[in-house]
Amino acid sequence: MARLVRPFRSRWYHRFSEKYEYDLLVIGGGSGGLACAKEAAQYGKRVAVMDYVKPSPQGSVWGLGGTCVNVGCVPKKLMHHAALLGAGVRDARSYGWDLPAEATVDWSTLASKLRDHVRSLNWGHRVQLQDKHVKYFNLRGSFLDKHSIRGVSSTKEVLLLAENVVLAVGLRPKFPENVPGAVEHGITSDDIFWLQKSPGKSLVVGGGYVALETAGFLRGLGLDTTLMVRSCCLRGFDQEMATLVSTSLREEGVKFLSGCRPQRVQRSQEGRLQVTWQRRQNVSEEEQKDEWDEKEGQEDFDTVMWAVGRQPVTKDLQLEKAGVQTEATTGKVLVGLHDETSCPGVYAIGDVAEGRPELTPVAIKAGRLLAQRLFAGSTTLMDYTNVPTTVFTPLELGSVGLTEEKAVTLLSPDLIEVYHAYYKPLEYSVPNRNSNQCYIKVVCEREGKQRILGIHFLGPNAGEVTQGFALALRCGASYSDLKSTCGIHPTCAEELIKLQITKRSGKDPTVTGC
Amino acid sequence: MRMNRCRSSSKRERQSWLQNGINYWRHRIRGYELALCTDAWNPRLRTGALYRHFSRLYTGYDVLRKVSFKLPEVVRRSLWTIIAVMPLLARAFDLLVLGGGSGGLACARRAAELGARTALIERGPLGGTCVNVGCVPKKVMYNTAMHADFIHNHTDYGFTVSNVDFSWRKIKERRDAYIKRLNGIYQSNLEKDKIEIIPGSASFSDGSKPTVEVNGQQYTASHIVIATGGRPDVPTETEIPGADFGITSDGFFNLEDLPRQAVVVGAGYIAVELAGIFNHLGCKTSLVIRYDEVLRKFDSMISSNCTTELESDGVALLKRSQVCNVSRNSSGRLVVTVVRGNAADHILSDVDCLVWAIGRKPNCQDLNMSKLGISLDSTGHICTDEYQNTNHSGIYALGDVCGKALLTPVAIAAGRKLANRLFGGEANAKLDYKNIPTVVFSHPPIATIGLTEGEAEAKYGQNIKVYRSTFTPLYYAVTEHKRKCVMKLVCANANEQVVGLHMQGMGCDEILQGFAVAIQMGATKANFDATLAIHPTSAEELVTLR
């Protein structure tokens, strides 16, 4: 009997005898928020998650799981796989398979399969929350004060009292300012995976990884794709690698409008999108002055996608009522070492926190560690150094640690040694595929055991290759550790441990034979 | 003495010495001037066998023939004498490498880089097993087979593909061309490093110093490295009647057409890889194994998972079976009889191709090693210490011929270390045979390093902790047919040092290398946990194991 009564009693006990209904309320059901909530629930805490997806200007909405699951990593990786399969058709012919020269993809089949998978993940997240007894509210939250949050939807309104609040609302794509027709006619990464029919001839605007990845998979799926970049590609990545990535995209058939900025988007009489742009004057590496040619370029597209950055959407949260301060230019929430905001009891993790890498695994880990610090007496802080990341362009770029530029500025050119190699993946040999961009660069200290500072790998499967090296870097690996490890033959990854040509030696870094 | 023999010999013998001499000079002299000017000068050679020999050797001959300059008689005569006589004297090098496979090449090139006068003896094409009948053509065929998987998934990913034909001939042609290209690269690498290539089979002969004879010419060196590799083992006709009807992995790469029905015998990685390739390319494949699972030396999770994968792919696994008889039927196809424990014999008829993949044996019978008393182990492999020394000073062995970790990178590393030790002043350079990562190109690929769970248990007792994960890689999220990925991390002691990592799944072949670096460094589970994931990959699963 007692066994039956206890849970009942404890629930009532909690409801009325404590000041707060919840120990933890997470606003935002993305990777970081969910990880934090589930971890906290494991310690027997009363946890709630509030998640609400504001429709994009084009009307796309989705379920629980945040950017990664719905409009980020997961669908983009599947698109990437599809694009690789498309390219694989060409290879297969030289491998003796009798296939047509170009395979055409049926966008609606692919997109519907992809949506089905995303929906199953949404459902999976719901089930997990339920299993862990985390209360889920599909409501839009806003602060009344630092412990009370109002959740509203069109039909419902609740007031929640929570001792700790974690902001994990993430970011949403930006639309360019001062470009007439941008919002009206353009889409963003929020919409691209939810399109019912093929985007057709597409223009992707932006130079970040979202833009490059999207252009890559659209091209891989056989679409006429143009990429408009204002200045440089992949800012923050090693620029030599970034240049190779854009060259590889160009070789895949992506058209480039480099040094261009959009002026306006109009719907032409045939119903297509007429994009007008300006070209930068004297596009030279050094002087990237803001001087633009008067003459305008113009072309018609079926789809225009903006990938010009992401920004937090915190207006509805009414952060000022809790006294949570945000950074003036980015609008992101200011956080300290412990992920705390300017308001005690309110924390921020993931993309919305100022200065943090915008990556799913970072948010997940930060969320877990935060929950452990709040409820399990842990003191472990998140280490934001040596965060590995991969750009899933058709030729993948894996990267961890310092870029060469950063190493040069932090140390000095005399203190670093760069090992590099151009290699040819075996799988490219038979179809005689272009491997001019398959390049590896390892940045090390020059003296002693030559501790590794950064690893950059451009080639097939870079995502899978880089993970282990990220671990090695975390263990403090040096160049001699690479040398003393036995290779795995024949793989692309073994090229990394076979590196022996230094950049300053000026020798030809092309790998020949074993 | 030798000169006398030379004078009294027949014309034919003199010709053969001359040919030897020309071969010799061909290697000796870069630029061919000497050989060609003598050749152009001698009208007899223009029509005879030697001329044909020359025109095969020197592609630029036609151009040079026009340079028909005359030399004074005295010079001509002395040139002939030098050409014919020089090879009769044993030639000395700093390093002589027997075998132009991965290990031998690596050792020779490193030694040459360090300034040693080096020669390399090889009877076949350069590159050895790895390049010609191993890793490289195998991976090409694996990639070919992977396309079968991709084509299956095309429809799932929205591509329209109708029934697809496959042409074995086409890929064989391209593969052969690629390998030929590689052979050429090796050749030019050796030439660049000024290493003399001596074509032919070597055997040890008499001499005050260890001496090797190739095609009648003697060579000696202060250091001789045996890196002759191995070859597939086949049962004898007395063991299994009709065994000679079968081929080996070497023969696999000579197949001109995809067999309709194939039987692969063996449970090792070669058997698994070949069966996987056959099966994926649409050949009806049976795999005959002695026990219940393949890859029995691997971690139990790997052997059972790989066995399941093979079966679900449609490979007919004949467990607890052994081939007892092979014969040819009236239509010229093979009939393979298999004994299966207590059950009735199983007869596989209409087999086009029987592949023995029951193991490999060392290539050292023809070396005449008994002359030097080099000791061999019970399986015929050359015994070496950890520094690759044999029991005869100045003679070393490395690679597959030693029978330890039969892997290309192991041989390469051992070869380089040895060269560093002999010529680079690194007295203690040796290869660490612990933590050698290996990949099996099965479907999906297997990657492993370190101790299996069983080995770890034997070594650390209860002091181990094992983390496991099974998941479906994202690639298969939208496909009908899914292949799961299994992973296992074996940790030992209180600090949970990672002593073994075993996995099978898409992409595992590329995942392992970086982890191998970390495990070699002594990474612990805590290091794994502290590493941030790369999303979405399969590899991230390893750093998020709980």
Q: What is the residue-averaged pLDDT of chain B?
A: 87
| Chain A contact probe: residue of B273, B513, B529 with most A CBs at under 10 A | B513
What is the structure's pLDDT at B4? 43
- What distance lies between CA B175 and its chain's CA centroid? 16
What is the structure's pLDDT at B81? 66
CA separation for the pair A145, A100 (Å, rounded): 63
Chain A interface includes B437 (CB < 8 A): yes
Chain B interface includes A160 (CB < 8 A): no
Contacts of A100 in chain B (CB under 8 A): 161
Selecting among B27, B280, B346, B535, the annotated active-site residue is B535
Nearest C-alpha neighbor of A86 from the set B14, B480, B151:
B151
Q: What is the residue-averaged pLDDT of chain A?
A: 91
pLDDT category of residue A89 using cuts at 50, 70 and 90: confident
pLDDT category of residue A512 using cuts at 50, 70 and 90: confident
| Cβ-nearest to B407 among A85, A383, A489 | A489
Contacts of B189 in chain A (CB under 8 A): 512-513
What is the structure's pLDDT at B88? 60
Contacts of B532 in chain A (CB under 8 A): 359, 361-362, 365, 386-388, 470
Q: Which residue of A has its CA nearest to B406?
A: A489
For residue A441, is pLDDT > 80? yes
The verdict on whether omega for the bond into residue A75 sits within 30 degrees of 0, i.e. cis, is no
**Residues 47 to 76 of A: which have CB under 8 A from any B CB?**
68, 73-74
CB contact under 8 A, B475 and A492: no
Residue B48 makes CB contacts below 8 A (sequence gap 6+) with: none
Average the pLDDT over each of A66-70, A308-312, B64-68 and give the range with the smallest value: B64-68
Over residues B444-493, the pLDDT tens digits come to 999 999 999 999 999 999 999 999 999 999 999 999 899 999 999 999 99
C-alpha neighbours within 13 Å on the C-beta side of residue B407 = 18
Concatenating the DSSP letter of every residue in B354-388 gives EEE-S-EEES-GGG-GGGTT--B-TTSPBP--TTS
C-alpha neighbours within 13 Å on the C-beta side of residue B489 = 24
Q: What share of chain A in percent tops pLDDT 70?
A: 95
Q: What is the mean pLDDT of residues A416-421?
A: 96
pLDDT category of residue A281 using cuts at 50, 70 and 90: confident
- What distance lies between CA A463 and its chain's CA centroid? 13
The verdict on whether omega for the bond into residue A57 sits within 30 degrees of 0, i.e. cis, is no
Question: 10 Å Cβ neighbour count for A502?
Answer: 17
Q: Are A410 and A75 in contact (CB under 8 A)?
A: no
- Rg, C-alpha atoms of chain A: 25
Q: Pick B65 or A480 by higher pLDDT.
A: A480
CB contact under 8 A, A475 and B527: yes
Copy the structure tokens of residue B119: 């020669």
Q: What is the mean pLDDT of residues A200-215?
A: 96
Chain B interface includes A481 (CB < 8 A): yes
Over residues A351-391, the pLDDT tens digits come to 999 999 999 999 999 999 999 999 999 999 999 999 999 99
Over residues B509-537, the pLDDT tens digits come to 999 999 999 999 999 999 999 999 999 99
Chain A interface includes B316 (CB < 8 A): no
What is the structure's pLDDT at B62? 38
pLDDT category of residue B61 using cuts at 50, 70 and 90: very low
| Cβ-nearest to A98 among B165, B521, B532 | B165
Over residues B178-208, the pLDDT tens digits come to 999 999 999 999 999 999 999 999 999 877 7
CA separation for the pair B410, A302 (Å, rounded): 55
CB contact under 8 A, B514 and A467: yes
For residue A513, is pLDDT > 90? no
Q: Which residues pair with B448 in a beta bridge?
A: B438, B502
Q: Which residue of B has its CA nearest to A81?
A: B475
CB contact under 8 A, A491 and B513: yes
Q: Which residues pair with A276 in a beta bridge?
A: A264, A298
Taking the CA of residue B200 and the nearest CA in chain A, the distance in Å comes to: 23
Q: Which residue of A has its CA nearest to B533?
A: A361
**Between helices B49-57 and B33-41, what is the axis angle to 10°?**
150
pLDDT category of residue A52 using cuts at 50, 70 and 90: very high
Q: Which residues of A are catalytic?
A: 489
Q: Which residue of B has its CA nearest to A494?
A: B513
Taking the CA of residue A80 and the nearest CA in chain B, the distance in Å comes to: 10
pTM, entire model:
0.88
**Residues 366 to 395 of A: which have CB under 8 A from any B CB?**
383, 386-390
What is the structure's pLDDT at B282? 93
Residue A395 makes CB contacts below 8 A (sequence gap 6+) with: A245, A248, A437, A438, A458, A459, A460, A462
For residue B19, is pLDDT > 90? no
The verdict on whether omega for the bond into residue B125 sits within 30 degrees of 0, i.e. cis, is no
Residue B326 makes CB contacts below 8 A (sequence gap 6+) with: B240, B241, B242, B243, B245, B246, B334, B335, B336, B337, B354
CA separation for the pair B45, B58 (Å, rounded): 14
Taking the CA of residue B521 and the nearest CA in chain A, the distance in Å comes to: 7
Contacts of B497 in chain A (CB under 8 A): none
Q: What is the mean pLDDT of residues B244-262?
A: 96
**Residue in this structure with the two tokens 């009564």, named with its chain if needed:** A5
